[in-house]
Amino acid sequence: MSAGTDTAHDGALATPGAALPVPLRLLIGGAWVAGDGAPLASRNPARPDEVVAEGTQAVPADVDRAVRAARATAREWARTPIHARGAVLARAAAALEERADQLGLELAREEGKTLAEGTGEVLRAAQILRYYAGEGDRVAGEHFASPRRGERILVTRRPLGVVGIVTPFNFPIAIPAWKIAPALVYGNTVVWKPASTVPLLAMRLAEALDGAGLPAGTLNLLIGPGALGTALVRQPGLDGLSFTGSTGVGRMLAGEAASRGVPFQGEMGGKNAAIVLADADLDLAAEQVLFGAFRSSGQKCTATSRLIVADEVADEFLALLTARLDAWRLGDPTDPSVHMGPLVTPAAAEGVRAAIAAAEAEGARVAYCGPSPAASDGGDAPSAFVPPTVLEVGAGSPVGDHAAAGERPASCVPCGNTAWREELFGPVLAMRRAASTEEAFALAEDSEFGLSAALFTRGIATALEAVDALDVGILHVNSESAGADPHVPFGGAKKSGYGPKEQGAAAREFFTHTTTVYLRG
In three-state secondary structure terms, 32 is strand
Burial class (CB in 10 A: 0-12, 13-18, 19+), 369: middle
Residues with catalytic roles: 267, 301
Per-residue pLDDT, averaged over 107-119, amounts to 97
* C-alpha–C-alpha distance, residues 269 and 48, integer Å: 28
pLDDT of residue 378 exceeding 50, the answer is no
Q: Strand order of the sheet with strand 142-145?
A: 142-145, 151-159, 512-520
Render pLDDT for 10-30 as a digit per residue (tens, 0 to 9): 333 333 444 589 999 999 999
Which domains, ranges and CATH numbers included, belong to the chain?
A: 26-268+497-520 (3.40.605.10), 272-485 (3.40.309.10)
CA atoms of 304 and 430, how far apart (whole Å): 9
DSSP letters spanning 187-215: T-EEEEE--TTSHHHHHHHHHHHHHTTPP
Distance CA 306, CA 263 (A): 32
pLDDT at 17: 43
How confident is the model at residue 380, as a pLDDT? Answer: 57
- Rounded Cα distance between 348 and 383, Å, is 10
Q: What dihedral do alpha carbons 456, 459, 461, 466 form, nearest 10°?
A: -10
Query: What's the confidence (pLDDT) of residue 394?
Result: 81
Mean of pLDDT over the chain: 91
- Over the stretch 139-179, which tens digit does the pLDDT of each residue have? 888 999 999 999 999 999 999 999 999 999 999 999 999 99
Q: Tell me the pLDDT tens digit for each residue of 227-285.
A: 999 999 999 999 999 999 999 999 999 999 999 999 999 999 899 999 999 999 999 99
Q: Which range (148-157, 179-188, 481-490) has the least confidence?
A: 481-490
Q: Alpha carbon of 502 to those of 85, 159, 180, 491, 509: distances in Å?
A: 19, 16, 11, 6, 9
Q: Which pLDDT tens digit goes with each residue over 415-447? A: 778 999 999 999 999 999 999 999 999 999 999
Residues 38-49 have a mean pLDDT of: 94
Higher pLDDT residue, 382 or 264? 264
pLDDT band at 348 (very low <50, low <70, confident <90, very high): very high
Distance separating alpha carbons of residues 355 and 369, to the nearest angstrom: 14
